[in-house]
Structures are given as C-alpha cells and as structure tokens.
Amino acid sequence: MKAKDRLIFPLDFPDLDQTLYWVERLNPFIGVFKVGLELYSKYGPRTVEDIRRISSAKIFLDLKLHDIPNTISGAVKALSNLGVDFLTIHVLSGRRALEEAVKASHGGLKILGVTILTSLDRADLLELGFNGELATQIDELAFKMALLASVTNCDGIVTSAKEVERIKGALPHLLTIVPGIRMEESPKDDQLRVATPYEAILKGADYLVVGRPIRESSQPEKICEAILNDIDRALEKRL
C-alpha cells in the first residue's frame, strides 16, 4: 500500500454538504474516508452514495455495532449491500456475534473488531466492572480481544498505538487500524492513548485514523502531506 492508502480521515461533520466539501478537498491525500455514527444516523445510506459519487477512496463505516448475534447478522447483511469497505463491531459483543458478522458480510466488506476505546483509561475500566488486573493492564485486555477477533476470522481490529505492537507481532495477519493519532504539537483532548503517525506505523499500524490535526488546521493539505511523509519514513525504517 502507498502511504495515502493507509490514511483514514473521519468525516465528523454535522451536515452532508460540509462532509462532501471535505471529501472533495482532501481526496488527493486520503485513502479511506470514515463515516461515523452521527453522520450515518442523520443521512443514512445517502452518505455513502454521495461520497462514492465524488471519490474513489475506500469507505469505512464506523458504527461500532454491539448487539445480540442475530441482530448483528441482519445489520451486517444490510450494510454489506452499500458497498462499503470496512465495518466495525465491538469485540465485547462476544464470540457468536463476531462469527455471525463475518459470516453475514459479503461484497468484500472487511469486519473490524473494536477493542478498547481510546477515550477510556484504567479508572473507566474499573468503573465498568473489569477486574483489577485487566483494568490496570489495558494492553493485556486489548490483546485478549484481538485474539478473539482473530479466532472468529475478523479481518482486523481497531486498537490504540499503545497496544498495536504486541498485537501485530503475535497476529500479523490482522489489519490494525489505529485512532488517536496526533501531531507532536497537538493539544490534549479526550483521546487518552495517543501517538504520532511515525510512532504508530513504526509499531505496526496498517492504517491511521487522523481527524482533528487535519480538520482544525488552517492548512489541512500541508498536515496531510506531513502525515504521509511520516508514514513513508516509518515504513522505510520498519523494513
């Protein structure tokens, strides 16, 4: 893959016109556009159709499905018909739900298991009821989830850069999609487990989800170019 193919831009915008403006503007730099829950809930399949009309980039439908196996199966069948390239399922849905998702997918749709959200820290996991050992060793919990995604034949996982090195080393066949990517100068925000593009690729990330550093820049194209350069540098060193 070229550096561009590895860069995912989340379309976290309140309306479709603004979304399509950014798709057209960033199309030369982005390999995958990510459609999240807010945008899809508001506009539905039309979102995917309109993006397809102006871009040949891949589409990542990031709905983070979390439900019983039968419901997951039905949802994946329906979403496969849209012709999107990636779809997320929470690994916490369990083995049967993941198996049903993989079985129901068609048309080249890749199923990605979501491990631990990058907005969660140890205190959050303790509050949610995870035992002390797993809550204090987030990398161990993420690794267990990656193993489950692997044995249920998911195509890949979404995980933070802090866990990706171990996961990619043990499960090299899994695609690794890493959010929480920030530039060196980025301010703090609600993403707690973050890394730079160079760090994440060097640790084994296959794809990077980069939103705020691009979206909030006065020169988003230049930020994209800097990210692509970082990806290339890291890939050269990784080889």
Q: How far is Cα 50 from Cα 61, in angstroms, rounded to an integer?
A: 14
What mean pLDDT is reported for the chain?
A: 92
CB 154 within 8 A of CB 185: no
- 10: helix, strand or coil: strand
Q: What is the pLDDT of residue 185?
A: 58
What is the pairing mode between strands 156-158 and 175-178?
A: parallel
Report the pLDDT averaged over residues 226-232: 96
- In the block, residue with structure tokens 């980025």: 186
Q: Which of 96, 56, 47, 103 is nearest to 80 (CA)?
A: 103
Provide the residue ranges of all domains of the chain, joining segments of one domain with +: 4-234
For the domain spanning 4-234, the CATH number is 3.20.20.70
- Tell me which of 2, 4, 64, 110 is the catalytic residue: 64
Q: What is the DSSP track for 74-93?
A: HHHHHHHTTT-SEEEEEGGG
Q: What is the pLDDT of residue 123?
A: 86
Q: What percent of the chain has pLDDT over 70?
A: 94
Is a pLDDT exceeding 90 seen at residue 224?
yes
Neighbours of 21 (CB within 10 A): 13
How do residues 140-159 score in pLDDT, each as one tens digit? 888 999 999 999 999 999 99
How do residues 150-199 score in pLDDT, each as one tens digit? 999 999 999 988 899 999 999 999 999 999 898 875 554 544 456 899 99
Q: Is the dihedral of CA 77, 82, 85, 88 positive or negative?
A: negative
Is 64 a catalytic site residue?
yes
